[in-house]
Chains A and B, each alone.
Chain A
Amino acid sequence: MTNPIEIKKLTVAYDKTAVLKDIQFSVPKGSLTAIIGPNGAGKSTLIKAILGLIPKVSGDIKIYGKPYRAKDRLVGYVPQRGSVDWDFPTSALDVVLMGRYGHIGWFKRPGKEDMALAKESLKKVGMDAYANRQISQLSGGQQQRVFLARALVQDAQVYFMDEPFVGVDAATEKAIIQLLTDLKDQGKTVIVVHHDLQTVEEYFDHCILLNKEVIASGVTEEVFTLEQLHQTYGGKLAFLDKGKVMVEQTR
């Protein structure tokens, strides 16, 4: 069976410096994969390159055996929360509805069915009470949940999420994890750019260690080792008791 994601020899460059070199990995169906690496390792760039948002220099990207095409509707995307203007005059429900826009087609408006889906998915992330709230009046965690609800209504097979855990409260973190597990149980594949090394083993069954190139990728137990992490983060690792690792945060 073809893997949902198969990347071969992917290279991406800004001007003349390569930001991603010879990236090669595959992700099995129904897995939760974390992309881990230091700041500037090209984690977000990798996702954007896979989605065709930035041009690649060379390489081969296959989603279910085919090059990425938006109209196949196989892929859902959750951008970084900070990438949009939350003062935009729109409501939580409206933002979730945007996830349906790719399904609606030219010149048409979201219909009753789209509306029902959007409401249902807001409920799934525990935000149904806030449907009509203007988005700037939501907390960071609530905004992140709205973004996740929007990804859900995309009804995709593969999900890419860019740092969904950054700046969210504990309740939201739990809700996100519940959601990821649900998606996994439905046989969907989820790839998450992740920062918190302490939760990697708990949340994800697969890992990609990235620092401009793939240091290691595969099952978490095999890949997420001290040695490999050292190689990924260079000298930026700090150690805590009980063999736990954390990164000296630069932000």
Chain B
Amino acid sequence: MSYEIWIMIVASLVGITCGVIGCFLILRKLAMLADAISHTVLLGIVLAFLISQSMNGLYMLIGAAVVGLFTAMLIQFLNHKGIQEDASIGVVFTFFFAIGVILITVFADSVHLDVDHALMGEIAFVPFDMVEIAFLPPLPKAFIMLMSILILNIILMMLFYKELKITSFDPALAAAIGMPVMFIHYLLMGMVSVSTVASFDSVGAILVVAMLIAPGASAYLLTNKLSHMLCLSAFFGVLAAISGYYVATWIDSSISGSMAMMSGVLFALVFIFSPTKGLLGKKINQKRFRTRTNAT
């Protein structure tokens, strides 16, 4: 397949993987935790490399999941001990991220990673990093990684759908009827961590936050049903990815940057034009209501 198509496929996979999982973050008011985890996975990746001495994706996923979960736990712990949640998030993730940055610069000679790449990603290189597995034709490494994580996420979400839903909506009731609230919380954090790592090679640690939050935030404004929100969010993720790619080639600039920008543009459009919850929609509804009440 051609170079361009692979980039668009990988970008779309980032959009779907992040978009779907991001919905739960929004509904649980954990968007800032996504920001934290997306940064601290850098430390996980560096540690995984230093310990295993290889750039194997599996080790990276494990490293990221461990550090991501540890981040979530530490934030929870500090918060529980009376530190405000946003303050705990701010302290924990900058600290871990800083350690990651220091490790990269100290071991710069041996690590095939640089801070720029970690922050911004480089999706344009994705088609050059092909691997062959078993009988399959050569596939980009990023594609295999994202596809596996997406499938894993979908399976977990299907298995734990009702648990995810009730712990997001009413954690007190969930706990009272014996749902494992903390387990589900950390399961979700683990899913966010591995999704971030899988995406990070392509879009980088900072822009992955845009892909996690913006599509879900847009979908939230358009629907009243959780399952629809998940699907719509995936759709917005793909839309941002594809349109971002074309914008990038058109103005000859960073693809990941354009993707993140387009997810913001799409959100702005939905925010204004959503029929029920958008700015215009609300205005029109008010006007209709007024004319109706005036008429009677």
Contacts and interface: CB of A to CB of B under 8 A. Distances in A.
Given A91-B225, A109-B161, A84 B169 contact: yes
A134 interface: yes
Interface string A78-89: 010001110011
A77 B172 contact: yes
Contacts of B160: 107
B228 A89 contact: yes
Contacts of A69: 178
A88 B178 contact: no
Nearest to B160: A107
Interface string A149-185: 0100010000000000000000000000000000000
Interface stretch (A31-39, A94-102, A218-226): A94-102
Nearest to B227: A89
B33 interface: no
B176 A51 contact: yes
Nearest to A73: B177
Contacts of A1: none
A18 interface: no
Nearest to B163: A101
A71 interface: yes
B162 to A, nearest CB: 5
Given A84-B170, A95-B169, A98-B165, A89 B224 contact: yes
Interface string A18-52: 00000000000000000000000000000010011
Q: Is the interface of B mostly helix, strand, loop or mixed?
A: helix
Contact of B177 (A70, A91, A110, A134): A70
Given A89-B228, A91-B225, A154 B177 contact: yes
Contacts of B176: 51-53, 70, 75, 77
* Size category of the binding interface on chain B: 20 to 34
Contacts of B179: 101-102
B225 A90 contact: yes
B168 A53 contact: no
A72 B166 CA distance: 19
A15 B173 CA distance: 24
Contacts of A53: 172, 175-176
A79 B173 contact: yes
Contacts of B133: none
B159 A107 contact: yes
Given A51-B176, A70-B178, A98-B169, A109 B162 contact: yes
B271 interface: no
A85 B172 CA distance: 12
A246 interface: no
Interface string B59-85: 000000000000000000000001000
A238 interface: no
A98 B173 contact: yes
Q: For chain A, what secondary structure do more than half of its interface residues adopt (helix, strand, loop), or is it mixed?
A: loop
A101 B166 contact: yes
Contacts of A79: 170, 172-173
A104 interface: yes
Contacts of B220: 89
Nearest to A84: B170
B32 interface: no
Contacts of A15: 82
Nearest to B276: A134
A67 to B, nearest CB: 13
B7 interface: no
A51 B179 CA distance: 13
B106 to A, nearest CB: 41
A88 B175 contact: no
Nearest to B174: A101
A83 B162 contact: no
6 contacts: A52-B175, A70-B175, A84-B170, A85-B169, A99-B173, A110-B162
**5 A-B pairs closest in CB distance:** A70-B178, A102-B177, A134-B224, A77-B176, A79-B172
Given A51-B176, A88-B169, A106-B159, 20 more contacts: A75-B176, A77-B172, A83-B170, A83-B172, A84-B169, A84-B170, A88-B168, A88-B226, A89-B27, A89-B224, A90-B225, A91-B224, A98-B173, A99-B177, A101-B174, A101-B179, A102-B177, A102-B179, A107-B160, A154-B177
